[in-house]
Amino acid sequence: MSFRLRALGLLLLVALTATAATAWLTLRQANRQVRETVAAGQAEVARITGELRAYGFAHGTWDGLSPVLGKLAKDTGQRIRVATETGVLLADSDTLAGRAPRPLGTQPPVLVDPRPVLRIPGVPGEVPRLSVKRAAVIAADYRTATVYAACLTRAGAGVTARPDDRGVPRVETDREVPRCRQPPGRAAPQMGEDLEAFRVCASVPDLTPCLRRVFDERTAAVAPPRLEIRLGHQDESPPALAATPTVAAAVGVALAVILGALLLSRAVLRPVRAMTLATEGLGEGDLERRVPVSGRDEIARLGVAFNRMAGSLQAAEERQRRLTGDIAHELRTPLANLRGYLEALRDGVVDPTPELLDSLHEEALLQQRIVEDLQDLALAEAGALTYHRSEVDLRELLHATRTAHRAQADAAGVGLELDAPRPVYVTADPDRLRQAVGNLVGNALRATAPGGRVTLALAPQGDPAVVEVRDTGTGIPERDLPHLFDRFWRADAARGRATGGSGLGLSIARQIVTGHQGTIEVRSTVGVGTTFTIVLGARPGATP
């Protein structure tokens, strides 16, 4: 079975199962909620309890509650029965509507507490005695405001209230009642009793809950009692949930999932099929095969990664082919010469003179050097070149390099100088590092005309360690600088192996420096000279 059919079948199974389970759970949960709420929605319950609490909070008494209760029952369509926590009936919407009270339903009562939640303003971490004093002041202010609001309510005045930042109501009225004037201050004896009661909380770890409990106790005498609100009646039947909309929604969800599965499988399988064909072509040797990429999703990133991999394989194949051609080109002519001379010696065409044998031996040594350079380069590029690291004094290394190339410099009429004011130590393989610097010096000597100068310089600061090989030669054109470290590449195509080396020295030098976690750079000016710079991590002040 194809991936498309399997994916479609799996998605369809998941969609149908999820849709059926969702429909069943929706029907079950909805019917249970309808039976439990008995025709009173959460929004209506919240409105009823909120308005009743606001009434008790503002008026300080439940007197005059009946008109508010009747309006709530009319607006919500609910049967509302209000009683105190001790069972004293305050109002019933059935009685207010002139009908006999119907039996109550099974819904549990809802509690309404009109008293404020104690909020004690202060700073975190202040001493408990300050919080105790503030709580006593709040209790006294709440009693005063509650008594004043209750008096206004019983006198028939309009009362409104809003809580301040402590939770205490700020009472306002539409007319003044002389006998209900708000007292100007707090009663001193009662204030003292409040302080004594709240002082118990100063030694309690949970200060705030204790203060709220004492606040409720000290204001219980004047605050309106908590209410128990019962909603609904036994004769009400919960409305049944219509199954048709649910079934229609389930079918719509299933169709949407199926359509989405088809589109998803098409969107996924088309690039996968293109990538499969490209992979097969890549495996058959078609390294130019690529896949079209569109979008920014995971499939697009996979396509970009595949194209990058194919490009890397193609570049590696081209480098391999170019390397093979370069090696064949470098070895073909000298080997043909060796073969020709050997056949001539065998046939007696030429005489085996010492000069001829020395020339053949020198040619063989040159080919051996090329093969060894290729081996070193291959090991370095593969990360398999062995380094024996130790503490190396770069000044001493440059001095040894200068000594080794002094004869070549004298023969070429070029001055070889050393500019290293003080020792600089690095952790490196001295032989390999000397090989890299020697390659740079050899190239500099070949590029410098008689009377010129090659300088081995060591930066005095020492961190990082900077080695420079400067010459006053012909220089390298800017267009040739990017190719300097390529295998078998020469800036002057007319230079042969006898004068231009094997063409691998700079490539080997770069790999050795890279193997030491360093960098090598070049800057050159035609007619002025060239400078190669090696940067290595130094250890300033270290001693071998």
> For 479-499, what is each residue's pLDDT tens digit?
888 878 876 665 554 444 444
C-alpha to C-alpha distance for 12 and 437, rounded to whole angstroms = 69
Give Cα separations from 410 to 438, 441, 443 (angstroms): 16, 13, 15
* 227 bridge partner residues: 84, 112
The 10s digit of each residue's pLDDT in 166-210 is 888 888 888 888 888 765 555 556 777 878 888 888 888 888 888
User: How do the pLDDT tens digits run along the chain, 544 residues long?
Assistant: 554 566 677 677 777 777 777 777 677 767 766 665 544 467 888 888 888 888 888 888 888 888 888 888 888 878 888 888 888 888 888 888 888 888 877 778 888 888 887 776 554 555 566 778 888 888 888 888 888 888 888 888 888 888 888 888 888 888 888 888 765 555 556 777 878 888 888 888 888 888 888 888 888 888 888 888 888 776 655 555 556 666 676 677 777 778 777 776 676 677 778 878 888 888 887 878 888 887 777 777 888 888 888 888 888 777 777 767 666 766 776 787 788 878 888 888 888 888 878 877 877 776 776 677 677 766 666 666 678 899 999 999 999 999 988 988 999 999 999 999 889 999 999 988 988 899 899 889 988 999 999 999 998 776 789 999 999 998 989 888 887 887 666 555 444 444 445 567 788 888 889 888 899 999 999 989 999 999 997 554 444 3
Whether residue 430 contacts residue 438, with contact meaning beta carbons closer than 8 Å, is answered with no
Distance, in Å, from the CA atom of 513 to the CA atom of 468, rounded to the nearest integer, reads 13
Question: What is the Cα–Cα distance from 55 to 513, expressed in whole angstroms?
Answer: 86
The CA-CA-CA angle for residues 251, 255, 258, to 5°, reads 140
In degrees, to the nearest 5, what angle opens at C-alpha 128 toward C-alphas 126 and 131?
85
C-alpha span between 39 and 33 (Å, rounded): 10
Sorted by where each begins, the domain ranges of the chain are 3-37+241-277, 42-231, 315-377, 388-536
CB 488 within 8 A of CB 507: no
Pick the CATH number of 388-536 from 3.40.640.10, 3.40.190.10, 3.40.50.300, 3.30.565.10: 3.30.565.10
Q: Is 160 helix (H, G, I), strand (E, B) or coil?
A: strand
Both tokens of residue 464?
Answer: 């990082």
CATH number of 315-377: 1.10.287.130
Q: Are 533 and 521 in contact (CB under 8 A)?
A: yes
